Structure 1
Amino acid sequence: MRKNGKLANVYLAAVFIILYAPIFYLMYYSFNSGGTMHDFKGFTWEWYKEVFHDTRLFIIVLNTLIIALLSAAISTILGVIGAIAIANVKKNQTKNTLLSFNNVLIVSPDVIIGASFLILFTMIGLKLGFMSVLLSHIAFSVPIVVIMVLPKLQEMSSSLIDAAKDLGASRWDVLSKVILPYITPGIFAGFFMALTYSLDDFAVTFFVTGNGFSTLSVEIYSMARQGISLTINALSTLIFLFTMILVVGYYFINQRNMKAGRMGVRK
């Protein structure tokens, strides 16, 4: 058993090294005064200063954050409504069908999704830009929220709802005071997952973005095509750190909710 445990730890460590080594390599050379991805000549903040002094890049970062926050918020609302609707379906066949439709955007290749949205927006005459990117991000984020929220709804005992109704609670009271508080961890998980997916998405955004509007993923791709620049390293490092802050923030929020739930059970 101990040998198996040690082998598992070694395997896990090797996986993390393979995954994170390229990221740390990129971060390391973001401080290289030599301006190349080899032969580290000295420490400098020059590339980070270029990032912060680039007004166009600041606008793109702002666009990315607005898109991510708006799409995450709207998709969380729609996803919670969808998850509750699916959970309340009586027939298993109908429920499985709805879940299958929900999972289509998750399992479909991003290139196909992006091309489909591009054709749709072209057909209806929607100008490519902020609105097209926002609608696309909402569309592929809603199924993610549904998947995160639905297990919490299935985990919840129906006796809680029956007890609330017996005590005279209205439908709104049941929803706002029983169901939503119980599935709050799933809602937060769905929101942060949608936010992360929106920040990281490139393929779909590349298809539906238009002239005069861009997001960080598309901008980094454009910068990389022009040649090696350590400004890309600095920008990528900042994005990675921001994502880590989101993950850590979600972890602490989740831990606090779990502690609050345990305290409630004890009372």
Structure 2
Amino acid sequence: MDKRISPLSRIFLIVMFALLYLPIFYLIFYSFNSGGKMYGFESFTLDRYRELFQNTRLLIIVLNTVVIALLSALISTIIGVLGAMMINKVRSRRARDSLLSLNNILIVSPDVIIGASFLILFTIAGLKLGFYSVLLSHIAFSIPIVVLMVLPKISEMSPSLLDAARDLGASRWEVMTKVVIPYITPGIFAGFFMALTYSLDDFAVTFFVTGNGFTTLSVEIYSLARRGISLDINALSTIIFLITMVIVVIYYLITNRTKKAPDMEVFK
């Protein structure tokens, strides 16, 4: 099979990546502009980054965003893994398809509708908008993502592995911790990092459920952008982009190392 890329395909890929990355590099480039504008680069400076790290309020918002992302990703991963295991145990194909359809609703639904629904729910329940409302919302829309990442790994696992472990005298807990979890670890990591990324990037849902005195980076950047062009946004966006790249690299290193490791180890 000829796997060479045609010239037309190469041109398409170049144009596509240019459209995706040139605006980001343009933003990063002008974060070092001493002129304070998005045109007419005058000279190199790190003043925007110094101002950024001296902004106590913004540092608190960054901490809020990271805490929300880590907690929501961790909790949604635990719930999503358990949910994927339960769905995999359903014998009826119709029932399984129905559960998967319900699981996918939060993924395919517009974020505005999801955010408005959470806002109505929290208002009726009397929950004050703030940290907990944002956390619960992020957990809710991250769980279906984790399920979709983990369920294929569970489905492709051969039942003979479980039978062999039980024949060797493994208990249910040992089967779970020494056979199932190691086998589906790539899916778990994929679900965790996807949930983490979605939480860090989310704006629409967070905009609806955040309250006075609490906000996240996405909402704060939107508020700064509405006040006018500020290179502080460029500096902040540059840092977020670099952190995202580091997370992606770590994710691929972990998944590649996991693939090279043995699929399972029943007993040491």
Residue identity matched to 2:127: L
| Aligned residue number for residue 20 of structure 2 | 19
CA–CA separation in structure 2 for the residues paired with 1:223 and 1:167: 61
CA shift, 1:7, in A, is: 2.6
3-state DSSP class of the match of 1:7? helix
3-state DSSP class of the match of 1:128? coil
Equivalent pair of 2:182/2:264 in contact (CA under 8 Å) = no
C-alpha RMSD of the superposition: 1.4
CA shift, 1:111, in A, is: 0.2
3-state DSSP class of the match of 2:128? coil
1:35-91 deviations in Å (ceiling 9; x for gaps): 000000110001111110000000000000000000000000000000010011111
TM-score of the superposed pair, with normalisation by structure 1: 0.96
CA–CA separation in structure 1 for the residues paired with 2:124 and 2:163: 48
| Aligned residue number for residue 111 of structure 1 | 112
| Aligned residue number for residue 170 of structure 1 | 171
Q: Which has the higher helix share?
A: 1
Residue identity matched to 1:92: R
CA–CA separation in structure 2 for the residues paired with 1:107 and 1:5: 34
| Aligned residue number for residue 39 of structure 1 | 40
Can you give the 5+ residue segments of structure 2 that lack an aligned partner in the other structure? none
1:193-229 deviations in Å (ceiling 9; x for gaps): 0000000000000000000000000000000011110
CA–CA separation in structure 1 for the residues paired with 2:7 and 2:260: 32
Fraction of identical pairs, as percent: 69
| Aligned residue number for residue 97 of structure 1 | 98
1:75-111 deviations in Å (ceiling 9; x for gaps): 0000000001001111111000000000000000000
| Aligned residue number for residue 209 of structure 2 | 208
CA shift, 1:262, in A, is: 7.0
The count of residues paired between Structure 1 and Structure 2 equals 264
CA–CA separation in structure 1 for the residues paired with 2:61 and 2:262: 40
Residue identity matched to 2:196: L
| Aligned residue number for residue 258 of structure 1 | 259
Counterpart check, 1:218 vs 2:210: no
CA shift, 1:2, in A, is: 7.8
1:158-201 deviations in Å (ceiling 9; x for gaps): 11011111122221111111100000000000000000000000
| Aligned residue number for residue 64 of structure 1 | 65
